[in-house]
Structure 1
Amino acid sequence: MQSPRAKPRLLTLILLTSLAVMSLNMFLPSLSHIATDFGAPYSVVSLSIGGYLGVSAVLQLVMGPVSDMIGRRPLILGGLALFTLASVGCALAGNVWIFLGFRMLQAGVVSGMVLSRAVIRDVAEPAEATRLLAVVGSAMALAPLLAPMLGGALGEVFGWRSNFWVFALSGAAMFVLSWIDLAETNLKRQNSFRAQFRTYPDLLRSGPFWAYCACLIFSIGGFYAYLAGAPQVGEKAFGLSPSSLGLMMGATAVGFMAGNLVATRIGARVGTMALIVSGRWASLIGTAGAMGLLAIGLFHPAVLFGGAVVLGFGNGLTLPGANVGVMSVAPHLAGSASGLSGALTVAAGAVLTPLVSAMVGGPMGVYVLLGAMAAMSLAGVFAAYVIRNHERRLQPV
């Protein structure tokens, strides 16, 4: 048996995060087939996305504090068990409502993503944690790119239910791996919910916590805006086919992975704060620069998607350090901070996505889209400087 402070293998944490990310979008190519199979409106079946995000946001709020109280390991194992059983339920569902009910329960897998960050913060010093989160972040870039390709192939060959059988098998495999490899890393647990929430206001009253949250929200918000508007803009403004659009949207993951790679290689040398600020400026310059190039006549889809790649690169620089920072404000509440910041980010995305989607339908859609991405990036720059000023005040004179 592992010692209580034994570090899990990094691969375990990467796979936990990847499964949580893939569960969101792997089956999307089969969404219309699900609607046809159940004889249900597409709008009802699409609740498998919106409802899932809503449940995930609530769970992220709860899982962090509970993991600070009872530990990371029980929640991760419980979330994987629930995800596995719910995936079987989705695969066997006989009508759309049963399917949606089990789909909501699948959100238990979010424990793997939320608490993997807290586990890293438990076992590593901030500089090392930033490097590890950058590596795990690469999985968050690659998984959404590969998942729809895999899900589409499975749906075409074996039918849409095969996606959920793969989820079930993956969840069971991750349960076994986590049982073997993931020891408890939270050694400073709270005694009760009452004790937990007596200290929780310390987090909520922390200005640095909200500054880090704002940095995360605006960084990821730019990417949410892009995901919401790029399909419409790509088709209407540039006449891209679905296959071309999918290829160009997928290429943006390369930017994020490149940013993570740079953060991994030079983070210890230049410092976390420099990466956060540089990442926000890179995203702003990329999106604003793309707007400028379109305005002077370089009206080509490569300009839009090039700006998105640079935005992804900036996020790859910023997010590892910002995630560590939000959990380092109150280390005894690392799980709570991870859960709350994740929930706020998902909630902001849920609000931003329909707004951008509704605004980019007109003739100026490409400018509206890049403007929204640039606005998010600019707000992220301000948040980064607030964080930097706070960190400088804490440094000894």
Structure 2
Amino acid sequence: MNVTTFVKSAVAASLVLTSTTALSAVSQQQVVEHYADLAHAVFSDAVITAKSLDTSINTFLANPSEKGLSDVKQAWIASRVPYQQTEVFRFGNAVVDDWEGQLNAWPLDEGLIDYVSSDYQYELGNDGAQANIVANESLTIGANTLDTKAITPALIADLNEVGGSEANVASGYHAIEFLLWGQDLNGTNAGAGERPYTDYVVGEGCSNGNCARRAEYLQAASSLLIQDLAWMEKQWSDSEKNNYRATLLADKPVNGVRKMLFGMGSLSLGELAGERMKVALEANSTEDEHDCFSDNTHNSHYYNEQGIYNVYTGTYVRTNGTLVVGPSIADLVAQKDKMAAKEIQKQFDVTRAQVGQLVSSAENDNQHFDQLIASNNPQGNKLVNDTIVALVAQTGSIERAAGIIGITSLNPDTADHDF
């Protein structure tokens, strides 16, 4: 299923909402239990799609070709669909937030990993910014000399934030993205990264050198991604003992509902409206674009918003098309105030449609997020700013929902942004 089809499926599922969640006497405990079920379903899909990506990588590396690289890229884009819907579980759940950096940290100094252009702009003072692990079997970063001869999942994990810089991101989706697309050297003009498939041709025909080590890095990063996702899936499984799910459900239900609302509000406001849109727009900076190598940012934003909606409504469309549905915050609100529930639902629908315009801009008008934030694109800037405004309004509705069901002092994270 391609990304566009999945968008349509998710929208179609939302239309079923009014008839599938008309539950009576929904309790906070039921809502928190279903929240854990949603988390397990979406992390399970992240594992499944990461394994599909890994299979595609191994098939490509066995016989590199232009089509093979294109297939891997599509598998990477597909793997982002469920993962981006997991991010709503970050805020309020330290087990997720503390773990997330190894999978989704950005922006990154890609010169740590592989070759970059001669005019590469990197974080000043970062000793690892041009280390080029692919090209070197040992690295000297600061006072430390590191053995990088064997590129393994463990090595990659250890190299995250090497030298004390958060820009030194060695693992996760964006490291893999860079290894597939290479740098996007188009600035705010059209076009994504253009890494040639020959960067993975071992022996004669290898472009840019070190093709065997580059393949080794790609495979190790993919293996680590699966390991990390599988660990998190188990944290939410009802068949595991003494995991995070057990801790969450043993707590008072009101604390679980507060975590749900805090996660929704913080992703909506500080992270999505702030770090992922406002920062890039105000600086007109493609370096602050989320999926900057692949120009997949519009989909990442869309599925972040979808994740927020999933938690509020208790719904999730799995990658196989199955609809997961159950007791939700929306039900709790409706039990207290049906009119307010309709108004809050309307705001969610308005915001989802607004974020969806970023997808339409990319897919229908070939105006991707990096073009929309260009200083000479007032219409594009307005589209992004209107989306930020809609996310801020949505956060207000989340806070309203919290008040209706008795959750006080919510204070979603603003990430130090003023809106």
TM-score scaled to structure 2, two decimals? 0.30
Larger RCO: Structure 1 or Structure 2 (Cα < 8 Å, ≥ 6 residues apart)? 1
Of Structure 1 and Structure 2, the greater helix share is in 1
